[in-house]
Amino acid sequence: MIHRPPHPYARRHLAAHAAAGGILDEVLNLETLPYLDQARLSSLLRLTEAEPNTLKWLLLSAWRSVRHRWSWDDLDANAVALDVAYLAAGGGETPHRPTTSRLTWKPLWVEWQSGGTIVASNARGPLRIAVGSPQGVPVLATLEGGRQIRLWDPATGQAIGEPLVAPDRVRTLVIASTPGYLVAACDGGRVIVWDAVTRLQVTTIDIPEPGPRALAVGELDGAWVFAAGGTSGVLHVRSLDSGHQVHMVQGHAPVRDAALATAADGRLYVAIGYGNGQIQVYDLTSGTPLAHEVSLGREINAVTLGRAEGRLLLAAGSADGTARVWDALSGRPVSEPFLHGDEVRSVALTTTGHSQLLATGSSDRTARVWYPHGSSPIGAPFPHPAPVENVAFAEVEGRMMLATGCLDGNTRLWDPVRPSAARVAVEGWLPSVGLDAGIVVAGVEGGSVRLWDRASGNPYHTFTVEPGDEQLYKTRRAPGVQVRLGSVEGRRTLTTLYRGRVAIWDLPDLHAPVLRGETTASQGHIVDVIGDRALVASADSSGTVHVVDLIDDAVMVHTHLRGATRLGLVPSPGRALLAVEGERGVHLLDAETGEPLYDPLPGTLPRHASVCHLDGAEVLAALDPGGLRLYDLRSGELTLPPLEMSNTANGIAWVRVGDRELLVTAHFATVRVWNPRTGRKVSEVPFGTEIAAMAVHEATDGAVTVAVSGPGMVLLRMSAATS
């Protein structure tokens, strides 16, 4: 057992010395792993794995799912991230750890999406990946922030060189292994070619296509060409070196995707998937279309071509949730449709050994691998915490691997056939969470609610709430139930909000909640349980603000604020505050009377806010995507300079841990703890993937329980460290 962090020299070189001495396994344990240098350990281990379902296998699976957020400076964060991932992977008890922050984080129980080796991370926006082996060296390319392309070693997850920056937003990219090129298609029709090894720009080619979505590279008569198309419906086939036009194919719908492949007879073919559900195959050697045309009926998201047993196969993924495979030259189906629970976003074909494999990535948050000539999947699905936008096969370290690009910003690597890292799936995305002394509750996308025993993590029965008529949550996920726990009239209650319908439930039997009442809320509403009241607040287009007690349907506030647009209910000691954004700033009203309590604060309504008594003053903590701000409500002045940050705001709460007043905030993939007097970050928990919401509960022993929802649920205990 390590009682204090090792000396920095030992931390940096311990793994290498252990490997040189043949005892690397002795330092691969829960106690030591958080202190090791992630980059060096990744290089030493590369893709080596322990025997499936052993403790070492679970440990490495956990570490590889969070190593992209490993910190050299914050050892506490490494430890708790590893502990959470280890429990998610199916591991047992985690150790008591030394801390440098004077805070101890202890995961109580975990039901969290896990699996795969994360080899690239932190992409934002629509995720695009490409894999290849220029000069025989495996390379993964990812698009970040619209214009920035990073290259990675997929065996170690280490970045290769500095990012490549395109002059315009990149729509799609591909790696051409034999010429060793990285090719990107940008807004405005600019196609940029880099040398994937030297990372030097080779050429820029302009095509008359404002929104190129499709891009493919192939060899035609000894020269390399690319095919690019998009919203105009035209597919441009040009020389990769000179930009000279080889062919131009005019379609009758936007081009959604394209693929190039050489058949056994040496002829180059292109498959074009259109937005109207049609797929056309052309012989580019002769420049003529094949007689057949394949139709799926729904828009095509992805197409690919691949050779198998002397035949050229065509695979496509559709918005109807199916993928299909045909003989590309005859147009005859090869198998029955391959089914997903939501639209298929990407497809890939490969041959490994004597087997042909088809991979599909879907908005149902899974990737699957199939034999193209069957309709049953090979093994269990690969679970992801968000829609899978891209799939691609690549040979890495002598193994055929599947790379997946997920909308949580991470790219993962899987062995498509053999067990490869722990795979854990959970039930749906949980957009909201509530917590009290005995239970945890979460809203689930699609309209259901889940409950757990807080101490053990044992689930109670899931139940479904009725939706209203309003579609209020316009996100890439299905609308989810928003939940609030509280005590109303001395009884434990749950308030739910789902598509415009507000309901309140008594919880005498956690297996069967009892509906007390429901109502339909207006546009701009917000619901919360504050004190012993369940409140529904709304603002209409005229600036009239209403607050209604849900239990007795009594109107508590009916007032007019000029320019009132957005509003929120803010937890505050002893009362409920109603925050309303108006023309003069943010107004803070008493939620029971509507009386103004403070002068308006400058700016706009924060995404999340909470009030606390701090050093004799009432301090409002406001969190939005721009950062964290603390206001003294007596003066309206900031108590600290703003803490700027670029993360998504997902929650905020004041807590007291031991004798320390602290502020807890939830962001895109991290929960952070702050000292509100200095603005210094005290501690953080990196979750490795996107989170949705946070709830806290203070215990009588000075500890705090933090619940985090997203692709599952994590419950942690935060307490003062003991010597």
pLDDT tens-place string over residues 154-173: 999 999 999 999 999 999 99
Q: Structure pTM? A: 0.91
Residue whose tokens read 């807004």? 187
What pLDDT is stored for residue 477 in this prediction?
Answer: 58
DSSP state of 523: T
Kindly give the residue spans of alpha helices, DSSP state H, lying in 564-702.
none
pLDDT tens-place string over residues 593-641: 889 999 999 888 899 999 999 998 999 999 988 899 999 999 999 999 9
* β partners of residue 400: 395
What pLDDT is stored for residue 521 in this prediction?
Answer: 63
DSSP state of 539: E
Sheet with 482-488: list strands edge to edge: 482-488, 491-498, 501-506, 514-520
Distances (CA, A) of 436 to 184, 441, 455, 551: 51, 9, 11, 20
pLDDT tens-place string over residues 287-344: 899 988 888 878 999 999 999 888 999 999 999 999 999 999 999 999 899 999 999 9
Please tell me which residue, 420 or 497, carries the higher pLDDT value. 497
Beta strands in 57-167 (DSSP E): 103-112, 117-120, 129-132, 139-144, 148-153, 158-165
Using a pLDDT cut of 70, give the percent of the chain over it. 95
Q: How does residue 181 score in pLDDT terms, banded at 50, 70 and 90?
A: very high
Mean pLDDT of 392-412: 93
Sheet with 338-339: list strands edge to edge: 300-308, 311-318, 322-327, 338-339
Q: How does residue 118 score in pLDDT terms, banded at 50, 70 and 90?
A: very high
Parallel, antiparallel or unpaired: strands 139-144 and 627-632 = unpaired
Amino acid at site 239: S
**Which residues make Cβ contacts (< 8 Å) with residue 291, sequence separation at least 6?**
none
Q: Alpha-carbon distance 288 to 11, whole Å?
A: 63
**Helix (H), strand (E), coil (C) string for 541-590:** CCCEEEEEECCCCEEEEEEECCCCCEEEEEEECCEEEEEEEECCEEEEEE
Res. 545: pLDDT tops 90: no
Res. 202: pLDDT tops 90: yes
Coil/strand/helix, residue 87: helix
What pLDDT is stored for residue 158 in this prediction?
Answer: 94
What pLDDT is stored for residue 474 in this prediction?
Answer: 42
Q: Alpha-carbon distance 425 to 89, whole Å?
A: 10
Q: Alpha-carbon distance 31 to 17, whole Å?
A: 18
pLDDT tens-place string over residues 415-459: 998 877 888 888 889 999 999 999 999 999 889 999 999 999 999
Return the axis-axis angle of helices 75-88 and 55-66, rounded to nearest 10°: 120
Res. 13: pLDDT tops 60: yes
Mean pLDDT of 496-514: 89
What pLDDT is stored for residue 656 in this prediction?
Answer: 95
Helix (H) or strand (E) holding 601: none
Q: How does residue 554 score in pLDDT terms, banded at 50, 70 and 90?
A: confident
Measured between its terminal Cα atoms, the distance across the chain in Å is: 15
